[in-house]
Structure 1
Amino acid sequence: MKWIPLFLVSVTLLAACNSSQNQDETEAADIPMEQVGKQPVGQTIIPGADSSGAVLEVTDDAYDFGIVKEGEKVEHEFRFTNTGSSPLIVSNVQASCGCTTPEYSKNPIAPGEEGLVKVVFNSTGQLGKQHKVITVTSNAATTHTSLHLRGEVEK
């Protein structure tokens, strides 16, 4: 007889989960196909409106530092231009590894102006082929831009 209340609770929870899943599927079905993947569900979408007039255009998004000896530090500056019509604001720059330290332009970058992301890679303890990804987050139309640092570290 003790299993009857447990059974009833289980059935009620299962029904509630299925109900919320069906509601999410219905809401997702209401989003036009051209907007799927572009905006989170529930966010207001105004057709024809651009979230930002800023455009981050990187001169070269990859740098190959070749072969370095373990313990050497590699420095590189990635340059970019705001080719949009609004000021570009870089809010964060994150490296994929603690061995790579980024510095970046923190002031708004006016249309037509340049900014930079300077990275320093410390090769200590990083033997072999290396590929570090630096992610730039900004208010640009494409909010995340990836930069790549590649090379090889030998003893």
Structure 2
Amino acid sequence: MKWIPLCLVSMALLASCNNGKNQGEETEAADIPMEQVGKQPVGQTIIPGSDSSGAVLEVAEDAYDFGTVKEGEKVTHEFNFTNTGNSPLIISNVQASCGCTTPEYSKNPIAPGEQGLVKVVFNSAGQVGKQHKMITVTSNAASKHTQLHLRGEVEK
């Protein structure tokens, strides 16, 4: 009779060890980004968080100071960049920190060695004082998010 509880405890321990292993395997699979699932060649291992694209977004200048403008004026600037990687660069989104800044960007893939641009238009209406607008570029580059900065001052 003493052996029955001991056997039950042993079986429960073995079952819990096996469940822990399965959970670990499921967690690893869940860590792979959805855009990579099913797209890697057979035998290639994708390490979550690593860059397999080879695209590199290199900005000529990541900040522009427009100086001082009168309230109501619009400031336009183009941020030029080059894909210095070895795979096409794809920009998936460009987001400004406020609605007064409107971005436009290259929507076609940028081949290695080719250039693209992000054009921003800042509407200074109602924006009196020192300004610092951030524009976030999201892409498949090694650095997924690139920050661009638009600075200046708006006078009444």
Q: TM-score, normalised by structure 1?
A: 0.71
Q: What aligned pairs does 1:134-153 form with structure 2 within 5 A after superposition?
A: 134-153=135-154
Task: Provide Cα deviations, 1:98-122, integer angstroms capped at 9, x if missing partner.
Answer: 0000000000000000000000000
Following superposition, the deviation at residue 50 of structure 1 comes to: 3.3
Q: Distance in 1 between matches of 2:46 and 2:122?
A: 42
- Pair 1:43 & 2:31 matched: yes
Matched position secondary structure for 1:91 = strand
Q: Distance in 2 between matches of 1:101 and 1:141?
A: 25
Name the Cα RMSD after superposition. 2.3
Task: Provide Cα deviations, 1:47-67, integer angstroms capped at 9, x if missing partner.
Answer: 5x6321100000000000000
Q: TM-score, normalised by structure 2?
A: 0.71
Q: Distance in 2 between matches of 1:118 and 1:94?
A: 12
- Counterpart residue identity of residue 69, structure 1: K
Give the corresponding residue for 1:123: 124
The unaligned stretches of length 5 or more in structure 1 are: 1-22, 32-40
- How many residues are matched? 120
Give the corresponding residue for 1:89: 90
Identity %: 79
Matched position secondary structure for 1:109 = coil
Matched position secondary structure for 2:138 = strand
Matched position secondary structure for 1:52 = coil
